[in-house]
C-alpha cells in the first residue's frame, strides 16, 4: 500500500484591519373587544368561515356577525386566536365581507374551499387523434375563450368558446394539428374585492412550451404551438455525486455579451454564443477552469422589461430602476418556456416581438447536449416562490385568489420582497411546479435545480418534487436557497435530503459585509465564528459538530454569488483600496489585483476548494471580477461606483470582461490548480469527520489538518495546513 503526504497551509497573521369598528352604545359584545385586531377571515369550506385575530378571539354571538352578501350564521365557536363560524351555503363565485360588531370587518379569502378542485387531465395543448386539444385550469372562471392566430404580431384572431368540466378545467378541441399557430385565453370571472379577471387582456397558456412576447413591461404573450423533433443523439443525465460537484454559477448573456468575448455580434449573449469555438467565454471558459457543472441564472421566460422610469402615468411609479430592465431573470412569467431573448435573433426593441419561431427551445437543448458531451452538468436556477410583477400575468388573470398568497385585506403577500408570492400549497399550483421540474428533466435533460427562496415553498411541494424527480433521475441535484420570508431552513432542507447554499461558510471565511463584517481571511471572527466553526466548515458544516447539515453533500460551499458584492470587490472594499462611494475612473486599473488583494483571494479560494461538500464559484470569481457600474443612457447617479446589486443592468457592469481575466492570470491559474487538485484527490470530497486530524497552532487564524482517505479502498495520508 503506497502512502504519501500532501501538505497545504492555511494561515494569516492578523493585521491592522382595524381598524376597530368604533364601539356602538348598542354593541352586544364586551368593551375590551375594541383592542382586538382581526387579521383575516377565510372561507375554508362551503359552510365554514374561520376568522383570525392577533390575540385571544372574542366571545361573540351570532347576532354580532353580519355577512355581505347575506349568509346565515348557524353557529359560532372560539378556539384560542380563531373564531369558527358555521354558515349557510357559500357561493365560491361571489365575494363576501364579514362584519363583527365592535371588532371590525374583513373581506373573505377563498382558502380551503378552492383546494377541492383538482384534475389529472393534461393541461396546455396536445395533439390527439389528428386534432389539437387545449385545456386551462380556471376553477372560478365564468367563461373562457381561446383566441387563435396565424402570426405572432396579429392583433385579432378567431375566438372559440371553451367548456368547463366539474374539476375546473376548460377544454376545447379543434380539428387538425395546428403546429405553427399561436393562441391565448380570455377569462371572465367574478367581480368584487380582490378580483383581477379581465377578458380585455389576453393571456398566454401557463403551460406554454414556447412563447412569443411583446417588448413592453406588460410582456403580453401568445403561446406558440410548437412541435419538437430535437435529436439528442443518446444524451442522458451525467449523474454526479453531489460532493463531487464543482459548480460555476453563470448568466447566459454575461458569458459572451462583452466585445472582448470575440463572439460575432449575431451570437453575442445568446445560447449558441456559448458554443462559439473562438470565444474565451461559454463552454471554453468552463472547460479551461475545470468545473463539472454550470448553474444558469433563470432561463424560464421572464419579464425582462420593467415599468418606465419616473413616469407619472405608469401604473406603478418607478423611482428605483432607471434601466427599466430585469437582467438576472428572477421574475418568471412562464414555467415551461425557455427565455427567447437569449436565442439568436432575440431582441428587446420597444414594441417589437421576441420568440416568434420558438428557436430558443432547440438552441438551449443544443447547448445542454454539448455541455454534457464535455462532462458538464446543467443546473437551472428556478423561481417558483413568486412570479413576474409587472407583466400581463397569466396566473393573476386566470385566478388571482387561487394562485397567490393574499393578506387579510386581499393584497398580494410579498415575503419574497418581489411583489407577489405564489401559493405553492394549492393542489394545482403544486402540480404545475412539479410538472415544470419534470418537464425540464425529460425535455431538456437538465441535471438539477437551484430553488430561489426555497423557504417560501411549502414542505408538501418540496416532498413531491423530491419524490417525482428522483423517479426520473435518482441522482437529480436539488439545491435550496434555504431562506426567504423571514425563514432560515438550511437544517430543515438537509433533513429532507436537499442541499442548500451554505451562507455560514461564506460569512465565516469572507465576512458578512466589507465595511465592518470581515471574516477569517481578514484576520477577524465574524458573528459566532471562531476556530471551532471554521474547522467544521472544512468538514462540511455538519450538525454533529454544531453545524446545520446532516451530510456534507448537503453543504453547497460558496463565497460569491450573483447577489451582493463579488468576492474580488468585497476584498477591495474590505482592504480599503476602494471606497463604497468612490467613482472609479480607470476600470482596468481597478480590476488589476494588488499583491495584498491577490493573497486574500488565494487564501479564500484555498479555504473553499479544500472544504467537504459541493463547491460553487461565481462567474469571474477566478479573476476577482469587479462590477463597476458602466455608463449608459440610463440616468444612474452611481455610474463608476462598485455595484452590489446589478440585477437590472444588461451592460458591461455584468458582462464578463475577458481582458480582465488575462490581466489576473496568476489567480486564474491558482483556481485552475486547486480545482485540478480537488478532482485528483478524493480526500477533498469524500472524507469523513473521523478522517480529519486538526493540528494545533498558536495562531488562531491558522488552520491545519491531516486527512486520511482513499478514493478506492486503500487509505492514504493527506495533510493540509
Q: Which residue has the cell 446532516?
A: 550
Evaluated on CA atoms 428, 434, 438, 439, the torsion sign reads: positive
Other C-beta atoms lying within 10 Å of the C-beta of residue 357: 16
Calculate mean pLDDT across residues 557-567. Answer: 98
Answer whether residue 14 shows pLDDT above 60: no
Q: What pLDDT score does 721 carry?
A: 55
Query: Cβ(215)–Cβ(348) under 8 Å?
Result: yes
Query: Cβ(709)–Cβ(716) under 8 Å?
Result: yes
Q: What pLDDT score does 526 carry?
A: 85
Average pLDDT, the chain: 93
First CA to last CA distance, the chain:
24
- The answer for residues whose C-beta is within 8 angstroms of residue 373's C-beta and 6 or more apart is 235
Percentage of the chain modeled with pLDDT above 70: 93
Closest listed residue to residue 451, CA positions, set 413, 424, 411? 424
**What distances in angstroms separate CA 214 from CA 269, 321, 648, one per listed residue?**
20, 20, 19
Cell (9 digits) for 546: 454544531
Q: Dump pLDDT digits (tens) for 456-509.
A: 999 999 999 999 999 999 999 999 999 999 999 999 999 999 999 999 999 999
Calculate mean pLDDT across residues 537-562. Answer: 97
Task: Name the more confident of 616 and 711.
Answer: 616
Q: What pLDDT score does 719 carry?
A: 54
Calculate mean pLDDT across residues 638-652. Answer: 98
Q: What pLDDT score does 491 carry?
A: 97
Task: Grade residue 187 by pLDDT with cuts at 50, 70 and 90.
Answer: very high
Task: Grade residue 709 by pLDDT with cuts at 50, 70 and 90.
Answer: low
Q: What pLDDT score does 35 carry?
A: 80
Cell (9 digits) for 88: 349557510
Q: What pLDDT score does 370 carry?
A: 98
Burial class (CB in 10 A: 0-12, 13-18, 19+), 482: buried
Q: Where are the beta strands (DSSP E) in 1-115?
A: 10-11, 38-45, 48-53, 65-68, 73-79, 82-87, 97-100, 104-110
In whole angstroms, what is the distance from residue 576 CA to residue 424 CA?
A: 44
Task: Grade residue 17 by pLDDT with cuts at 50, 70 and 90.
Answer: very low
Q: Dump pLDDT digits (tens) for 277-306.
A: 999 999 999 999 999 999 999 999 999 999
Q: What topology does CATH give the domain 497-694?
A: TIM Barrel (3.20.20)
Name 126's bridge partners.
Answer: 133
Q: What pLDDT score does 708 carry?
A: 84
Calculate mean pLDDT across residues 245-256. Answer: 98
Answer whether residue 32 shows pLDDT above 60: no
Q: Which residue has the cell 372574542?
A: 58
In whole angstroms, what is the distance from residue 204 CA to residue 420 CA?
A: 19
Calculate mean pLDDT across residues 99-116. Answer: 96
Cell (9 digits) for 435: 410538472
In the chain, what are the domain boundaries? Answer: 31-110, 497-694
- The CATH class that applies to domain 31-110 reads mainly beta
Name 421's bridge partners.
Answer: 386
Query: Cβ(6)–Cβ(719) under 8 Å?
Result: yes
In whole angstroms, what is the distance from residue 210 CA to residue 4 CA?
A: 55
In whole angstroms, what is the distance from residue 648 CA to residue 327 CA?
A: 5
Helix segments in 621-716, DSSP class H: 658-663, 665-680, 683-686
In whole angstroms, what is the distance from residue 78 CA to residue 331 CA?
A: 41
Answer whether residue 31 shows pLDDT above 80: no
Task: Grade residue 682 by pLDDT with cuts at 50, 70 and 90.
Answer: very high
Strands 615-618 and 555-558: parallel
Answer whether residue 214 shows pLDDT above 50: yes
Amino acid at each position: 500500500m503506497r502512502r504519501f503526504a500532501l501538505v497545504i497551509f492555511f494561515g494569516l497573521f492578523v493585521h491592522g484591519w382595524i381598524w376597530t369598528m368604533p364601539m356602538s352604545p348598542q354593541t352586544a359584545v364586551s368593551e375590551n373587544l375594541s383592542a382586538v385586531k382581526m387579521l383575516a377571515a377565510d372561507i375554508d369550506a362551503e359552510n365554514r368561515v374561520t376568522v383570525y385575530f392577533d390575540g385571544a378571539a372574542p366571545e361573540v354571538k351570532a347576532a354580532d356577525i353580519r355577512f355581505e352578501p347575506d349568509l346565515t350564521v348557524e353557529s359560532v365557536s372560539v378556539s384560542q386566536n380563531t373564531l369558527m363560524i358555521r354558515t349557510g351555503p357559500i357561493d365560491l363565485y361571489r365575494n363576501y365581507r364579514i362584519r363583527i360588531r365592535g371588532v371590525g370587518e374583513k373581506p373573505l379569502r377563498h382558502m380551503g374551499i378552492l383546494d377541492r378542485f383538482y384534475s389529472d387531465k393534461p393541461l396546455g395543448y396536445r395533439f390527439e387523434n389528428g386534432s389539437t386539444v387545449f385545456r386551462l385550469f380556471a376553477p372560478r372562471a365564468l367563461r373562457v375563450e381561446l383566441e387563435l392566430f396565424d402570426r405572432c404580431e396579429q392583433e385579432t384572431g378567431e375566438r372559440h368558446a371553451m367548456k368547463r368540466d366539474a374539476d375546473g378545467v376548460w377544454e376545447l378541441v379543434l380539428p387538425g394539428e395546428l403546429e405553427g399557430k399561436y393562441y391565448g385565453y380570455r377569462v371572465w370571472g367574478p367581480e368584487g374585492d380582490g378580483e383581477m379577471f379581465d377578458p380585455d387582456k389576453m393571456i398566454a397558456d401557463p403551460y406554454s412550451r414556447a412563447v412569443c412576447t411583446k417588448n413592453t413591461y406588460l410582456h403580453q404573450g401568445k403561446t406558440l404551438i410548437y412541435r419538437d423533433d430535437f435529436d439528442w443523439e443518446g444524451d442522458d443525465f451525467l449523474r454526479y455525486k453531489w460532493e463531487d460537484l464543482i459548480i460555476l454559477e453563470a448568466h447566459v448573456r454575461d458569458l459572451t455579451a462583452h466585445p472582448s468575448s470575440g463572439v460575432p455580434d449575431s451570437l453575442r449573449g445568446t445560447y449558441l454564443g456559448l458554443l462559439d469555438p473562438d470565444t474565451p467565454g461559454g463552454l471554453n471558459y468552463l472547460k479551461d477552469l475545470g468545473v463539472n457543472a454550470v448553474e444558469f441564472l433563470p432561463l424560464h421566460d421572464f419579464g425582462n422589461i420593467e415599468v418606465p422610469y419616473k413616469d407619472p402615468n405608469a401604473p406603478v411609479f418607478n423611482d428605483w430602476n432607471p434601466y427599466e430592465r430585469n437582467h438576472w431573470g428572477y421574475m418568471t412569467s412562464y414555467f415551461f418556456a425557455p427565455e427567447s431573448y437569449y436565442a439568436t435573433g432575440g431582441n428587446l426593441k420597444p414594441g417589437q416581438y421576441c420568440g416568434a419561431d420558438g428557436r430558443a427551445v432547440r438552441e438551449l437543448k443544443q447547448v445542454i447536449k454539448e455541455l454534457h458531451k464535455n462532462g458538464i452538468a446543467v443546473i437551472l436556477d428556478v423561481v417558483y416562490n413568486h412570479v413576474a410583477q409587472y407583466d400581463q400575468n397569466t396566473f393573476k388573470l386566470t385566478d388571482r385568489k387561487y394562485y397567490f398568497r393574499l393578506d387579510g385585506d386581499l393584497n398580494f403577500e410579498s415575503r419574497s420582497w418581489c411583489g407577489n408570492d405564489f401559493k405553492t400549497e394549492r393542489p394545482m399550483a403544486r402540480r404545475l411546479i412539479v410538472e415544470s421540474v419534470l418537464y425540464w428533466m425529460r425535455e431538456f435533460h437538465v441535471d438539477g435545480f437551484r430553488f430561489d427562496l426555497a423557504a417560501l415553498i411549502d414542505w408538501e411541494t418540496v416532498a413531491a418534487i423530491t419524490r417525482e424527480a428522483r423517479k426520473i433521475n435518482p441522482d437529480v441535484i436539488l439545491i435550496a436557497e434555504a431562506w426567504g420570508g423571514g425563514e432560515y431552513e438550511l437544517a430543515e432542507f438537509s433533513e429532507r435530503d436537499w442541499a442548500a447554499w451554505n451562507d455560514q461558510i461564506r460569512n465565516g471565511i469572507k465576512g458578512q459585509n466589507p465595511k465592518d463584517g470581515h471574516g477569517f481571511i481578514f484576520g477577524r471572527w465574524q458573528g459566532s465564528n471562531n476556530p471551532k466553526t471554521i474547522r467544521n466548515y472544512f468538514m462540511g458544516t455538519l450538525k454533529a459538530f454544531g453545524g446545520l447539515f446532516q451530510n456534507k453533500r448537503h453543504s453547497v460551499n460558496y463565497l460569491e454569488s450573483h447577489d451582493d458584492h463579488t468576492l474580488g470587490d468585497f476584498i477591495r472594499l474590505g482592504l480599503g483600496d476602494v471606497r463604497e462611494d468612490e467613482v472609479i475612473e480607470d476600470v482596468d486599473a481597478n480590476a488589476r489585483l494588488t499583491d495584498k488583494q491577490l493573497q486574500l483571494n488565494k487564501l479564500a479560494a484555498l479555504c473553499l476548494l479544500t472544504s467537504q461538500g459541493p463547491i460553487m464559484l461565481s462567474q469571474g470569481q477566478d479573476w476577482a471580477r469587479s462590477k463597476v457600474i458602466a455608463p449608459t443612457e440610463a440616468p444612474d447617479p452611481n455610474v463608476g461606483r462598485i455595484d452590489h446589486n446589478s440585477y437590472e443592468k444588461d451592460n458591461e457592469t455584468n458582462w464578463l470582461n475577458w481582458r480582465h481575466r488575462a490581466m489576473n492570470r496568476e489567480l486564474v491559474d491558482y483556481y485552475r490548480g486547486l480545482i485540478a487538485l480537488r478532482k485528483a484527490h478524493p480526500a477533498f470530497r469524500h472524507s469523513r469527520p473521523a478522517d480529519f486530524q486538526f493540528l494545533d497552532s498558536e495562531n488562531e487564524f491558522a488552520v491545519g489538518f491531516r486527512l486520511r482517505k482513499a478514493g478506492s479502498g486503500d487509505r492514504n495520508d493527506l495533510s493540509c495546513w
